């Protein structure tokens, strides 16, 4: 199965995961909150699984979507 995943969607999802907030990620990326949400939804659709639990005050990465990165 081939995926046509955009690097920009991965970059957005990674920052959302780190900040656990769509609005803060949008601000950091100089994007609208709606554009960030759309990027995340596109990636979730392509992968066939949700990546975040949406909460009233932010998002929480689901266990299967957590990424370990060296900083």
User: In the chain, what are the domain boundaries?
Assistant: 7-64
Fold (topology level) of 7-64: Arc Repressor Mutant, subunit A (1.10.10)
For residue 12, give the nearest of 35, 66, 4 by alpha carbon. Answer: 35
Global pTM? 0.84
In terms of phi and psi (left: phi > 0; alpha: psi -120 to 50; beta: otherwise), the region of 3 is: beta
- Residues across the chain: 71
What is the per-residue DSSP string for 44-62? HHHHTS--EEEETTEEEE-
Give the pLDDT confidence of 1-60 residue by residue, as tens digits. Answer: 566 889 999 999 999 999 999 999 999 999 999 999 999 999 999 999 999 999 999 999
């Amino acid at each position: 199965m081939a995926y046509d995943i955009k690097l920009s969607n991965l970059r957005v999802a990674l920052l959302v995961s780190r900040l656990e907030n769509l609005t803060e990620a949008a601000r950091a990326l100089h994007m609208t909150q709606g554009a960030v949400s759309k990027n995340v939804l596109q990636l979730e659709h392509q992968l066939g699984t949700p990546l975040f639990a949406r909460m009233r005050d932010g998002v929480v990465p689901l266990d299967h979507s957590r990424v370990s990165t060296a900083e």
